[in-house]
Amino acid sequence: MPAKEMDLPCMECNNAEAAVTTRSRSLCGPCYQRFLNYKVVRRMEKYKGPKDLAKSSVPTARLLLPLSLGASSSVLLHMLDKALARQLAKTSRTSYVLEILVVEPSTISPDQASCDIQFDKAREAFPKHTFNRVPLHSIFEYVPDMTEIMRDYVGPQYIDDDSKSNEERLAAFRDAASSATSKADLDTVLFTRLAVGYAKHTACESILWADSDTSLAAKVLAGAAKGRGASLTWQVSDGMSPWGVMFDFPCRDLSKPELLSYVSVCPELSEIVIPDRPLSDNILTKNLSIDELMLRYVTTQGEKYPGVMANVSRTAHKLHSTSGHGGPLCSLCGGLVENVNGNEDGITVTGQFATENPRFCYGCMRSRPDTVLN
Amino acid sequence: MAPTLCFNCKTERAVIIRPKNRHKLCRECFIKVFETEVHETITNAKLFYPGERIAIGASGGKDSTVLAAVLKTLNERYNYGLELSLLSIDEGIRGYRDDSLETVKRNAVQYDMPLKIVGYGELYGWTMDQVVEQVGKKGNCTYCGVFRRQALDRGAAMLEIQHVVTGHNADDVAETVMMNLLRGDLPRLSRGTSIVTESKASDTKRSKPLKYAYEKEIVLYAHHRRLDYFSTECIYSPEAFRGSARTLIKDLEKIRPSSILDIVKSGEDMAVLVPGNTVPGGKSCKSSAAADDEAGGCGSQNGRSSGGEMAAMEQQLAANDTAESRETEIKMPKKGSDTKKIKTQTLQYCEQCGYISSQRICKACTLLDGLNRNRPKTAIEIGLEDEEGSSTLARQMEHIQLTNS
Amino acid sequence: MSDPANGGAAPIPITVEFTGGLEILFANERNHKISLPGRLDDGSNPNISYLLHYLVDNLMKDQRKELFIMEDNVRPGILVLINDADWELEGEEKYELQAGDNIVFVSTLHGG
């Protein structure tokens, strides 16, 4: 029995005032954290190592965690840090180590502030892990053939020469995009390529993406809307990416609001997490990118229909992988250049368009600067 | 502002911008290009054979009117040798179908095609007006959609025609893809993207020759050819579009005009990756249970989604979720939740009416049983002799076959 | 002919047509002849944006404005034709109306 009267006692421990209500449970801060933690740890089981980990000689896995310092990736880091500490206490070793990659936000968008303070705070709070911070244009270092790929992709209008710095080169490429949709689409591709390049550079076997089910649902719908349906099998699903690095999404069972609530009951994260910029209501729909439209759709519909939105990424997760469906891969995004094997030409959408550049996939061709002939 | 000249002929004033490639075309060139592309779809997919008898599912609306006009044109231009006729469904909604059926009747004269109208009343013993009287306005779209699905096949059977073409366009296919991603129904996503659906048991084949045509171009084709079509929103679903996948599609089109075909492309690729699906998504879907469950929504809207559907899905999922969290306690991790399992549907015949179905009793019969059980004794409808509870579809069908022969 | 109230510009007579189901919002009337002021209070000429407001304020009988206008523009899914040409070819909502113009609004949202 609780010692004193409580307005709403935690349904789990009955010992503290409930702080958060989720999935019809009212829980106190620590129990809430444990509840969410369980959903993530369950997804990390494959990295748990053998039962006799202490005596086992299995090598320690190296996993890359891209940290945006937003709510989702910060919570994931917090959870995994705790899980590793528990493992260390129990077996005196850990089954994996985390490599933390922060891509400097001010190099992604000029209207984002630098993350100096939060980066230092995070490093202080989680001293056991290796942190590194790189600018987005370091993609040319970690993906050596990127300059050539970009030249080929944009074509003659992309003027490039050796006098350009990496920063200028990337800016020229990104400026060539003709719409908000294409720009956001290509940015996602670049970010993924950088993370993969960095993972290979640091010998990480997997990348742990911190997407919530909300974010994954938006990615599924946006990917479908951008003609990238075939790539969803690895873009939102646990499994092998086209570059030989595994992709995992341990937060896939948690919604964005749940992750935000976690931050609210977790004082250690209060100085680390950079709040999301609010989804602006005053941008006209036609000026949004498809990614933003879908995130807005999933977020607003998710308030009314959280279950439907949570189900979207689970549905995409059921699709068979495209490996074995053969054919060359897009040199930019890694998707299949041709139709998924079994999807005959001539009577598919691709038959509706003239043959395009054989190095790039349908989705990338839609985002290519010269596709708008206005 | 000097008029923009046509990308094709370079002489006439451009009046349209094509969504798929932004080409600016004049009226003549647009009409020609539109028709040629439908022709290419038909020949590449080998939709028809010479001498084939085709029923065009005709509602009097833009899609089916354009389909009838284009098929007539192409049949003559390329000597398909098809025998075309119009098949219309009368849901029995007073004041709604009257005008559209008048349009279909005019179309029959304009295109010189025979017309058959089949009513819900004669098929099922219930008009939609009567259904609404019984179940109210909420949820009546389900009845309409399920009844409509079978009605076309049954109408075709009466005409002894084995191939029904419908006016489903690229926007409809794109909406099906999005809707089924939201709904979590991959088999249906797969079926919805294929140009031909035929079931192993039923001998009625269905196809959608306008699968790659943007709705925008269909409307413009109708406009520039001055086609006679009728449009109205069903009086029973005035708010049908709010928050629906349709709205999302239209917003997407505004952002990136090509996106409708981009979604269809995604859908075709994903269809191949649906577990248990070995059939190419683009070509022909012989998946079982194609018969009675495709049109979930309003028949008159070509099975378009309505806002209400999301609420129903949420309820279903919430129920599953509660069940799951009951059996999975917080502290008891459960293994093996990650398996890629998917329900496969098997084909069978409805025990009551013999129609192909994924269930023991097909959806139409299930709905009819519910309706008939609750039919107020005082409101016995004209021409309905069956007693309460026994007026199954099989009996209705016997009745029709007798009266029609 | 000059009218000092609107800066001396002659009124602009145009025809407006609603089809594809949109006519329901406008008293089931497909064709409308209207006359717009030749110059607006702020000195500009009436364009499609102005016309949209004008139609909602003066011609629309249905209360559900959002079925026609969204985000201060034509609702996605409604096509606009300026003298039979897609309005995208003419500058969309910024197109300035000329005497004798025929403006068609076609809904693609209604049943087919």
DSSP string, B175-240: HHHHHHHHHT-HHHHHHHH-SEEE-SS---EEE-TTTTS-HHHHHHHHHHTT--------TT-TTT
Domain limits at C62? 4-107
B26-314 architecture in CATH?
Answer: 3-Layer(aba) Sandwich (3.40)
C95 domain residue, yes or no: yes
Residue B94 CA, chain-centre distance (Å), reads: 22
Contact A274, A115 (CB under 8 A): yes
Own/partner long-range contacts of C41-44 (Cβ < 8 Å, ≥24 apart): C43/C7
Residue A87 has pLDDT above 70, yes or no: yes
| Cα of C70 to nearest chain A Cα, Å | 10
Sheet strands (E) in A31-103: 61-66, 96-103
What's the pLDDT score for residue C69? 92
* A7: Cβ contacts below 8 Å, ≥ 6 apart: A17
Q: What is the mean pLDDT of residues B324-346?
A: 44
A63 domain residue, yes or no: yes
Is B42 annotated in some ligand binding site?
Answer: no
What's the pLDDT score for residue B346? 62
Which of B64, B65, B231 is closest, CB to CB, to C107? B231
Contact A27, A19 (CB under 8 A): yes
Q: Number of CB pairs < 8 Å for B and C? A: 86
Q: Are residues A138 and A245 in the same domain?
A: yes
A205 domain residue, yes or no: yes
Phi-psi region of A48 (alpha: psi -120 to 50; beta: other; left: phi over 0): alpha
Tokens describing residue A342: 């079994």
| Cα of C31 to nearest chain A Cα, Å | 29
Q: Are residues A80 and A206 in the same domain?
A: yes
Domain count, chain A: 2
A361 domain residue, yes or no: no
A52 domain residue, yes or no: no
Interface of C with B (CB under 8 A): 19-21, 24, 75-77, 79, 81, 84-86, 88-91, 104, 106-112
* A104: Cβ contacts below 8 Å, ≥ 6 apart: A114, A115, A133, A134, A135, A136
Phi first, then psi, for residue B56 (nearest 5°) are -95, 115
A255 domain residue, yes or no: yes
Q: Chain C contacts of A284, Cβ < 8 Å?
A: 71, 73
Residue at B267: amino acid letter:
G
Tokens describing residue C74: 């034509």
Domain limits at A286? 59-327
Compute the distance between CA of residue A230 and CA of residue B315 in angstroms, rounded to an integer.
Answer: 30
Minimum mean pLDDT range among B134-143, B302-311, C60-69: B302-311
Q: Are strands B284-285 and B348-349 parallel, antiparallel or unpaired?
A: unpaired
Torsion of CA B284, B287, B291, B294, to 10 degrees: -80
Q: What CATH code is carried by the domain that includes residue A94?
A: 3.40.50.620
What's the pLDDT score for residue B313? 76
Please tell me which residue of chain B has the smallest CA distance to A306.
Answer: B314
**Helix, strand or coil, per DSSP, at residue B122:** helix
Contact (CB<8Å) A285/B248: no
> Tens digit of pLDDT for each residue in A337-368?
888 776 664 567 776 665 566 789 999 999 99
Q: Chain C contacts of B232, Cβ < 8 Å?
A: 21, 24, 110-111
Contact (CB<8Å) B262/A24: no
What's the pLDDT score for residue B7? 95
Q: Are residues A22 and A75 in the same domain?
A: no
The reply to whether C66 touches chain A by the CB within 8 Å rule is no
Is B55 annotated in some ligand binding site?
Answer: no
Q: Are residues A154 and A181 in the same domain?
A: yes
Q: Which residue has the tokens 């439907």?
A: A308
> Tens digit of pLDDT for each residue in A194-226?
999 999 999 999 999 999 999 999 999 999 999
| Cα of C79 to nearest chain A Cα, Å | 15
Q: Using 50, 70 and 90 to split pLDDT, how confident is the model at B353?
A: confident
A102 domain residue, yes or no: yes
The reply to whether B21 touches chain A by the CB within 8 Å rule is yes
Which of C21, C84, C88 is closest, CB to CB, to B233? C21
Tokens describing residue B331: 């502290």
Strand order in the sheet with C31-36: C31-36, C12-19, C102-107, C78-82, C85-86
Is B288 annotated in some ligand binding site?
Answer: no
Q: Using 50, 70 and 90 to split pLDDT, how confident is the model at B308?
A: low
Is B235 annotated in some ligand binding site?
Answer: no
Name which of C86, C93, C98, C101 to mutate to probe chain B: the one with the most chain B Cβ atoms within 10 A of its Cβ: C86
Q: How many CA atoms lie within 13 A of A154 on its CB side?
A: 22
Contact B92, B138 (CB under 8 A): no
Q: Are residues A7 and A32 in the same domain?
A: yes
What's the pLDDT score for residue B392? 40
What's the pLDDT score for residue B288? 37
Domain count, chain C: 1
Is B155 annotated in some ligand binding site?
Answer: no
Q: Using 50, 70 and 90 to split pLDDT, how confident is the model at B36?
A: very high
The reply to whether B259 touches chain A by the CB within 8 Å rule is yes
Contact A309, B278 (CB under 8 A): no
Contact (CB<8Å) A284/C76: no
Q: For chain B, what is the mean pLDDT?
A: 78
> Tens digit of pLDDT for each residue in B56-82?
999 899 999 999 999 999 999 999 999
Q: Are residues A132 and A203 in the same domain?
A: yes
Residue B281 has pLDDT above 70, yes or no: no
Compute the distance between CA of residue B196 and CA of residue B286 in angstroms, rounded to an integer.
Answer: 8
C112 domain residue, yes or no: no
Q: What is the mean pLDDT of residues A279-301?
A: 88
Compute the distance between CA of residue B297 and CA of residue A143 in angstroms, rounded to an integer.
Answer: 49
Any chains having at least 3 CB pairs less than 8 A from chain B are A, C
Q: For chain A, what is the mean pLDDT?
A: 89
What's the pLDDT score for residue B324? 56
What's the pLDDT score for residue B83? 98
3-state helix, strand, coil in chain C (%, to 5): 25, 30, 45
Q: Chain A contacts of C75, Cβ < 8 Å?
A: none
What's the pLDDT score for residue A361? 92
What's the pLDDT score for residue B242? 46
* Residue ranges per structural domain of chain B: 26-314
Q: Which residue has the tokens 């059996």?
A: B327
The reply to whether B350 touches chain C by the CB within 8 Å rule is no
Please provide the DSSP assignment of A194-242 as one string. Answer: HHHHHHHHTT-SEEE----HHHHHHHHHHHHHTT-GGGHHHHSSSEE-T
A367 domain residue, yes or no: no
Which of B224, B231, B254 is closest, CB to CB, to C110? B231
Spatial CA neighbour of B154 closest among B200, B120, B114: B120
Give this complex's ipTM. Answer: 0.92
Between C34 and A6, the higher pLDDT residue: C34
Runs of H (alpha helix) within chain C: 48-58
Contact (CB<8Å) B313/A349: no
pTM of the model: 0.87
Q: How many CA atoms lie within 13 A of B270 on its CB side?
A: 39
Q: Are strands C69-70 and C73-74 parallel, antiparallel or unpaired?
A: antiparallel
Please tell me which residue of chain B has the smallest CA distance to C19.
Answer: B231
What's the pLDDT score for residue C7? 52
